[in-house]
Structure 1
């Protein structure tokens, strides 16, 4: 494949490292991870392993697009990029989770992107993540960006461009909001990595129907799935949502592992930054925020509504059962301050999607 010149240069957002940008020296765990990545990467290159791209689902507006992907090493015996498969292709779903967690990232690699008839050059961050905001003019709907590191390893990434007439959007949590795993939160990474059969995950009753009804009520509504889960489980989560009838949309996940300031990234900070970024990208959209009361969703959504009361359409909280609360945070009751109420936008709570739909209908926010 020929790479035309000159190329436009995109603003590649290395936001995963931004938290420690002001510190003099990165956390020792981050330094150790960087050394490990250099040593393992050097060994794999000597063994003639190739660079492969795992594409994620991006989004944008009429003038900008956010393209997301991850750069990994792959064995030369791998004839095709096993990440670049249609979401509806379930033939190999039983063996993919563990591969996503054992693959080796390739930090700071140059990646080329073609989108909207233009080409861009960006760089991955220290975790191999490509997070690039491209200045490009695209029509509303779904587009495909082509990404490659060298000619011959091209993959495509979906990019959803939100129509300018959209006035309502939805942001939804994933764990315990759209699916139930019945496991303590510390074990969710293991679960998503190794228990990959779709039948092993339970759908929260009524939630797919609720989301479909909301999508019909607001025809131009963009849907974003915001989770503290790792990018490693993107293929598994994408298939779960597809198989169970949830509306398609970008997944906003995070990268686990050490940062410049500590062992792990903050889940609440990831959600807060993502909400603020969506608010800035779509200033005319009012958001339906959907989560559960097992962790921090109610307080995070309430804080966002306090900062941007004009941008919140409603807050919908799925109430966990006592056993689910115990698995979520170790007690039988919701976290302090987790119940919606008080001033601000409409805030409703119910045990499942059926209850939330009925509550929206009672308040005149949904047709019967």
Structure 2
């Protein structure tokens, strides 16, 4: 375990569709298949990019429930070669007999603002805990990472030095103002299959 120094560079990274292929823009059925029934797959080229930030501390912030920590850690760090770091995930009760658990799991899949607020809070806490560190934020365009990171940069202007967005929905062409001022990482885009008539 490595302690994070008060000064230096930190990378705050999303997980789903930033460094691990999940297919969030494809909808619930696709995500369930990728999460429970297929082997995890790393986003091409991302572990090499992260390896270039030699002296950085890493913080992985995700809307994924904390119950997935062990398989995600094993895959990302031991199999895919991402740097070790702290994990900040969504708290979800583990009592599957509870209505609260099922409600929270449903909200996790259907309500983007639940994850938005959780990530905004957790990232703000990290930057507040390390006021003398500089931060690189890395996410993807499939959910609300550009909006969350833009808000973080406005709240902590002296600390956020760069925002990288892996563009998985082709916003660099369809919606370029959404990614304005951010470094865009080209990626294969997710395209929903049209139902057959």
**Uncovered stretches (5+) of structure 1, i.e. residues with no partner:** 1-141, 143-159, 326-331, 342-346, 353-368
Aligned pairs, how many? 170
Residue by residue over 1:162-205, the C-alpha shift from the partner in whole angstroms, topping out at 9 and shown as x without a partner, is 123x321000001110011346342435642x32x6xx232211
Moved over 4 A (4+): none
Residue by residue over 1:77-135, the C-alpha shift from the partner in whole angstroms, topping out at 9 and shown as x without a partner, is xxxxxxxxxxxxxxxxxxxxxxxxxxxxxxxxxxxxxxxxxxxxxxxxxxxxxxxxxxx
User: RMSD across aligned C-alpha pairs, in angstroms?
Assistant: 2.7
Mapped to 1, the partners of 2:5 and 2:27 lie a distance apart of 36
The alignment status of 1:180 with 2:15, answered yes or no, reads no
Mapped to 1, the partners of 2:126 and 2:177 lie a distance apart of 25
2:129 to 264, 281, 284: 281
Paired residue for 1:169? 10
SS at match of 1:246: coil
Q: 1:294 to 1:182 in 2, by over 3 A?
A: closer
Paired residue for 2:183? 348
Mapped to 1, the partners of 2:89 and 2:71 lie a distance apart of 13
Paired residue for 2:192? none
- Which one has the bigger strand percentage? 1
- Which one has the bigger helix percentage? 2
Contact 1:173–1:227 (Cα < 8 Å) also in 2: yes
**Uncovered stretches (5+) of structure 2, i.e. residues with no partner:** 94-99, 109-113, 188-197
SS at match of 1:161: coil
Superposition map of 1:313-332 within 5 A:
313-321=161-169
Mapped to 2, the partners of 1:314 and 1:321 lie a distance apart of 21
TM-score by length of 1: 0.42
Rg larger for: 1
Contact 2:20–2:42 (Cα < 8 Å) also in 1: yes
TM-score by length of 2: 0.76
